[in-house]
Structure 1
């Protein structure tokens, strides 16, 4: 009687190997390997045969083993602060658009605006030897900057131009965006300003917009009359709560500047519930130009940004080749433009 463990493993249960692919395609193992990696020196006919064989037997390659021999993978690491804000989902959509049809593959990590979590995420991603790394913002702590500076791959920092980039950078000046909004609101006749914001201690880009806004007001002899700040994440609910708080403190405000459109939408709901006329009685201004702004029953001002284009251009830099690192060596400015909702 046969021993239970002496039966051969059924073919359907055995993991497919590169040797199986090569045998089925009628090529050498090396040719099969190069065809699957799009190495470029394999005939089109052999590539088609190898790919068909791999598909037929369900072969999955070992990219980690390939990276150990090639010193890199086809992975693009993407580090973003969160997924609850649609802004970063749109950046990822732009990245997905740009790598479609290439052999690149994006992987992303979420930091929750936590510098230590960002450091660990970048450290882990670099250990996988990616072909490039996309990191949100320019305000990483020194130990994180050292990781990025030492990485022998293209580094693209996105969403912000106000700072010292490690390598390439795609984004906009948030300080200028805040200043531009202040000047536009002053030109529209607004004079009694309040500010509503969330997590400025972590969201450095919102903090820069705040600074630019305040400085531009001061340059024309104006100040914020009051502000309502929260350590909570940016949400519609928090925006509504903070709007109620600030208008109770100073009901004569004729303009509220919000840290972003999500928070500003909460302001819209508060004003609708209290029958406060927008923009006649008070103007509400946000940032990002999110799609829902155009669907609101009342109009608000916003700074419109092209998040998908930021993602696409970041991939374009990585795809174009590594090139030398250095401040300003590759800088793409995609400025926001003001929409007063009128």
Structure 2
């Protein structure tokens, strides 16, 4: 009977009716609460086998360490962590602005965190911020460590995943079909009459959303019966300099290329600047297309053709979903396709 009552308590807590405590974790793992505390705070002081047993109990119960006192912890703070892969890439700046403006107008504060495209770092960051009992979480992408997904589902507060669209989200989702965005640019280049087309990117080992765009690009070229696997990339952060370098590498390896499809506008701008410096005419000698719709594309010579994504609006919609859930309002949909638009200019 005692075991049954214990199981009922655990299930209630797991559903969010009560907060899971360190004592619950200790009971589940069959150790003392002090051992759980030691495993979480100074893991090098417990054996690997014991630490793994405690981590399994933590994950099973959805335990989050309480880093703030009493009533605040149970009620939640008016703070929302926003977790992105990088704070140095322009991709995320307007998204963050949309989130911040919308949440602050409703009386919430934003806490920014950067993962450097590292899912392990993301998991540790989520573990840390949940301890401060935030109102909800906004995070990037749909791929996370299993532990992160389980922890957030058990947490039972609003979670919005952004930048990528998919069915398998933790809670709510606002994003874009990356493969379709890549396919859109590839179809445009084909319609312009280009046949030898390469995809250029950076950091694609970790940036799987860029890889999704490449797969959409590749699929369109393969369907047209053309060489579809021309990929040039560098394992470094996106920048104008990286765009310049990968532009040169592509043309040195394949001087016959007619068009270059860059993974984002930063890289494409670097390519255009280097082409101008070397007297390579764009698009007469090589066409250049990008992705994002950054305002800098309008000021390049020639102006950059790009697939534009409404990033500010993406942030606004993500914040609105989170606020609706916090306020108990019904949602017509928990999944929003923010869309994209092909912006054709002189570079293609």
1:245 to 245, 249, 252: 249
Deviation of 1:201 (Å): 1.2
Aligned match of 2:289: 285
Conserved 8 A contact 2:86-2:115: yes
**Per-residue deviation at 1:304?**
0.3
Look up the match of 1:31: none
TM-score (norm. length: structure 2): 0.76
Q: 1:129 aligns with which of 127, 133, 136?
A: 133
Partner of 1:86: 90
> 1:223, CA displacement in angstroms?
2.1
The correspondence of residues 90-101 of structure 1 with structure 2, limited to 5 A, is 90-101=94-105
Q: Distance in 2 between matches of 1:317 and 1:162?
A: 16
| Matched position secondary structure for 1:264 | helix
Name which of structure 1's ranges 265-274 and 95-104 shifts more when overlaid on structure 2. 95-104
Task: Give secondary structure in 2 for the equivalent of 1:286.
Answer: strand
Aligned partner of 1:14 in structure 2 is none
Residue number in structure 1 paired with 2:342: 338
Measure, in 2, the Cα distance between the counterparts of 1:147 and 1:225.
Answer: 38
How many angstroms apart in 2 are the aligned matches of 1:211 and 1:225?
9
In the alignment, is the contact (CA less than 8 A) between 2:272 and 2:301 conserved in 1?
no
Q: Is the 8 Å Cα contact of residues 226 and 250 (structure 1) preserved in structure 2?
A: no
User: For 1:202 and 1:69, how far apart are their aligned partners in 2?
Assistant: 35
- Deviations, residues 66-85 of structure 1 (Å, cap 9, x unaligned): 75364311111110111111
**1:90–1:307 Cα contact (<8 Å) kept:** yes
CA contact (8 A) 1:192 1:255 kept: yes
The secondary structure found in structure 2 opposite 1:91 is helix
Q: Which SS does the other structure have where 2:116 is aligned?
A: coil
Are the aligned partners of 1:67 and 1:129 in contact in 2 as well (CA < 8 Å)?
no
Structure 1 SS opposite 2:302: coil
Contact 2:166–2:173 (CA<8 Å) still a contact in 1? no
CA contact (8 A) 1:195 1:224 kept: no
Partner SS state of residue 130, structure 1: coil
Quote the Cα distance in structure 2 between the aligned partners of 1:207 and 1:188. 24
**8 Å contact 1:238–1:263 — kept in the other structure?**
yes
Q: Which runs of 4+ in 1 moved over 3 A?
A: 63-70
* CA deviations over 1:88-144 (Å, ceiling 9, x no partner): 111111012102332211111110111111001111111111111000000112122
- The number of residues matched between the two structures is 277
Q: Does structure 1 residue 296 correspond to structure 2 residue 314?
A: no
Residue 321 of structure 1 is matched in structure 2 by: 325
Q: Normalized against structure 1, the TM-score is what? A: 0.77
CA distance in 1, matches of 2:159, 2:169: 9
Q: Which has the larger radius of gyration?
A: 1
Residues of 2 paired with 1:335 and 1:67: CA distance?
41
CA positional deviation for 1:323: 9.2
How far apart are the structure 2 equivalents of 1:335 and 1:244? 32
SS in 2 for 1:100: helix
Q: Per the alignment, in what secondary structure is the counterpart of residue 292 of structure 2?
A: coil
**What runs of 5+ residues in structure 2 fail to find an aligned partner?**
1-66
- Indicate how the Cα distance of structure 1 residues 189 and 309 shifts in structure 2: closer, same or farther if over 3 A, else same: same
In structure 1, the partner of 2:108 is 104
Partner of 1:147: 151
Deviation at 1:329, TM superposition (A): 5.3
In the aligned structure 1, how far is the partner of 2:113 from the partner of 2:291?
Answer: 24
Greater shift, 112-121 or 315-324, is seen at 315-324
